[in-house]
Amino acid sequence: MTFTAAEEKLLSQRDFVERQIAKFHATANFKVSDVSPEDETGNGDDDRDVVVCVRVRPLLEGETQRGLFPAVTTTPANTTEDKIFVHSVEKKVTGLPRLATKDFGVDHAFGQTSLNEEVYQKAARSLIPIALGGGVGSLFASGQTGSGKTHTMTAIENMIARDLFQFAREYRCQQDGLKLEDVSDSADFEYRASFFELLGNKARDLLNYPTEVSILEDVLGQVQVVGVTEEQVKTPDELTSIISRGSSFRKTIGTAKNDTSSRSHAICRIKIKNLRRLEAEEGVLYLLDLAGSESASDSRNHDKERMQESVEINKSLTTLKDCIRNRALAVVSTKHIHIPYRNSKLTVLLKSAFELSSVRACKTVVIATINPNILDTNHSLNTLRYVSPLKVEVPPITEAASPNDPVSWSNTKLQEWVKQNSTQIDPAVLCPTETGKQLLKLPEATFIDRCCECPGVSPVAAKKFYTKFWRLVVLARTKIRQDREDALQSVVDSRKKANDAEYLEFLERLKSDPQALARWMESRRRYEEYEKRVEEDLKDNPVLLAHFKEERKQAREWREENLEKADLIIDQILEKGSGREAVVAMAEVLKKVKEGADFLSE
């Protein structure tokens, strides 16, 4: 393959680019982490429903021989924030060219020297306990053709096969106090694996090629892959052998049919049934090697059929991105957010990973693979623009801000709820030490087991109680949204007539920054609490109470007008406690306000 004149020119600037990249890294002020890279396990991601990773592959021998060189780098392993940098040469009309660098923040950035084991440990391993516990764990590799999706996915699939059975055995040992050597690989769980590919809207069974299978939603809303082979596996070797059968078959047809592999999504699905607790939901692991994304220029020479396939691939990749991102946003957003999973067969298949009303744990890991060579920087940028919006910051949920969300509950609060909601389930047995968040992480079967240890509790009743507990999370997800909508509406209402820039800027900030909104809601809640407390304290003093009510009216009006400043001085008022002192404090504040004091600078 020959290079164009522009490519030749770029490659001739190798020394300049390499020097500039070295300078960029030498002068960058990366924050160094106290945790050594070896100790970092990726467990910090535990709270996140979506984890975004990038992996830069090394240049291949043939590429180096052709004179290509890398222009994509990552932050060093010991830094607190993981970033990936795409460097390019910016041509100036006059003067010397300069190095332009675009950076993208991700949860884990794996550089050229990262090994498969490290990627697996930090990015993928945490999906195993989720699936064993009855949840949905999904892993996607996405990126340009030839960037290393299959290399990464095949390695991870084999490591999952290696560890899945081990995790299950350890789980059994913990439950029954047994020794690892006394527990077999298939103890307690039944595993069924399928391997199929999705090309356009057509799905074919890779364990029984070329049988076509259909992805359908049944009347109960459950997604079925009708006609697919599901093989029961009892050992790591059996699972590895299915994975290699499916993968090698895909490779064979890929070569025979003009490289189909990069145009189809390969899906390995492992269903996990807990045989001890048939009432518990089946866990699922989806391992997806996605079709390589293609740009319009790549598809210029395609025939009509291939063009249609490219359209379908791009549509399914866009829908997948929208579903992952919207699912993450919907949990923290102020608005109703639609999750368009019906727009493609791929996302219909993965419906259970996107459902907001799901009463089980769901976690999605996306690994974007990057070919670092300088001639592919546009492809790399496209891949990174595709995955970086999936990283949605989720503000911590505090008990004060969402008292009905079990995620924020302490052990005491959790035990109280159990006591109030069941006469038979003993909180000391179900959740002796756990917080709400920890109990939500407990596998469904263990939750049911613990309930059944209490006299008179049947597995069916235990399952009902589990669903009741999880429903609170679903309700809270929707309720938080409702509260946020109300809070924003109150800002809008309070200043409907005003249209000044300060107000609009504040409103925009609340809309775009969930943490600022959470802080503002918290301050509003504390203020309301304060008002109630003062009323309570003054109930025997009608004169002072009347005075307070009048002051309060004015304070509220002022507050509505000065939303942000009000938050700052609320603390000052609250410090005075309640009763007479607080009323005096509030009167003082109002007086100062009327005199035009600027609290922000005080």
Ligand X SMILES: Nc1ncnc2c1ncn2[C@@H]1O[C@H](COP(=O)(O)OP(=O)(O)OP(=O)(O)O)[C@@H](O)[C@H]1O
Helix (H/G/I), strand (E/B), else coil: 406? helix
Interface stretch with ligand X, choices 71-79, 144-152, 338-346, 444-452 (CB under 6 A): 144-152
Spatial contact of 305 and 200, defined as CB atoms under 8 Å apart: no
User: Binding to ligand X by residue 150, rule CB under 6 A?
Assistant: yes
Q: How far is the CB of 57 from ligand X (least distance, A)?
A: 4
How far is C-alpha 285 from the geometric centre of its chain's CA atoms?
16
Of residues 55, 256, 236, the one with CA closest to residue 128:
236
CB of 282 to ligand X, least distance (A): 29
Q: From the CB of 291, what's the least distance to ligand X, in Å?
A: 7
Residue 546 phi, psi dihedral angles, 5° rounding:
-60, -40
Size of the site for ligand X (CB under 6 A): 15
Using the rule CB under 6 A, is 369 a contact of ligand X?
yes
Whether residue 314 contacts residue 205, with contact meaning beta carbons closer than 8 Å, is answered with: no
Question: In the bound complex, what is the minimum distance in angstroms from residue 292's beta carbon to ligand X?
Answer: 3
Minimum CB separation from ligand X for residue 263, in Å? 8
Is position 148 an interface residue for ligand X (rule: CB under 6 A)? yes
Task: Provide, rounded to whole angstroms, the least separation between the CB of residue 223 and ligand X.
Answer: 26
Task: Please tell me what DSSP assigns to residue 30.
Answer: P
- Find the binder of ligand X among 78, 101, 121, 145 (CB under 6 A): 145
In the chain, DSSP finds a helix count (H) and a strand count (E) of: 21, 14
Residue set of the binding site for ATP: 143-150
Asked if 146 is part of the footprint of ligand X (rule: CB under 6 A), the reply reads yes
Which residue sits closest to ligand X, CB atoms considered?
Answer: 148
**Residue (of 9, 17, 111) closest to 55 by Cα position:** 111
- As measured in angstroms, the least distance from the Cβ of 323 to ligand X is 21
Report, in Å, the least distance between residue 171 CB and ligand X. Answer: 31
What is the smallest separation between the CB atom of 514 and ligand X, expressed in angstroms? 34
383 binds ligand X (CB under 6 A): no
Closest to ligand X by CB, 145 or 490: 145
Q: Alpha-carbon distance 486 to 572, whole Å?
A: 26
* Position 262 contacts ligand X (CB under 6 A): yes
Residue 264 interacts with ligand X (CB under 6 A): yes or no: no
Q: Tell me the window of 140-148, 354-362, 432-440, 530-538 that interacts with ligand X (CB under 6 A).
A: 140-148
Measured in whole angstroms, the distance separating CA 51 from the mean position of its chain's CA atoms is 5
Residue matched to tokens 């700052």: 568
Minimum Å gap between C-beta 380 and ligand X is 12
Strand partners, 455: none
In sequence order, which ranges of 431-579 are alpha helices (DSSP H)? 436-441, 444-452, 459-494, 501-512, 514-537, 542-561, 563-575
| Options 20, 88, 142, 147; binder of ligand X; rule CB under 6 A | 147
Closest C-alpha among 187, 206, 186 to residue 198: 206
Report in angstroms the alpha-carbon separations of 258 from 154, 163, 220, 262: 21, 35, 40, 10
Contacts of 367 (CB under 8 A, 6+ apart): 53, 54, 55, 119, 123, 139, 140, 141, 142, 152
How far CA 111 is from CA of 77, 402, 431, in Å, comes to 9, 40, 42
Q: What is the DSSP letter of 126?
A: T
CB nearer to ligand X: give 143 or 443. Answer: 143
Using the CB atoms, write b or e for 313-332: b if 16+ within 10 Å. bbebbebbbbbbbbbbbbbb
Cα–Cα distance, 227 to 196 (Å, whole number): 11
Nearest to ligand X of 292, 427 (CB atom): 292
Question: Of the two residues 60 and 394, which places its CB atom closer to ligand X in the complex?
Answer: 60
Per-residue interface string for the shown chain with ligand X, residues 42-61, x marking contact by CB under 6 A: ---------------xx-x-
Q: With contacts defined by CB under 6 A, name the span among 83-91, 138-146, 397-405, 555-563 that binds ligand X.
A: 138-146
Which of 126, 247, 261, 377 is in the footprint of ligand X by CB under 6 A?
A: 261
The SS3 assignment for 98 reads strand
The region of 149-157, 440-448, 466-474, 592-600 touching ligand X under the rule CB under 6 A is 149-157
User: Using alpha carbons only, how large is the chain's radius of gyration in Å?
Assistant: 28
DSSP classification of residue 32: B
Between residues 200 and 436, which has the closer beta carbon with respect to ligand X?
200
Which span (142-150, 386-394, 437-445, 514-522) binds ligand X, by CB under 6 A? Answer: 142-150
Residue closer to ligand X, measured from CB, 148 or 406: 148
380 scored as a contact of ligand X (CB under 6 A): no
Residues lying near ligand X in the complex (CB under 6 A): 57-58, 60, 143, 145-151, 261-262, 292, 369
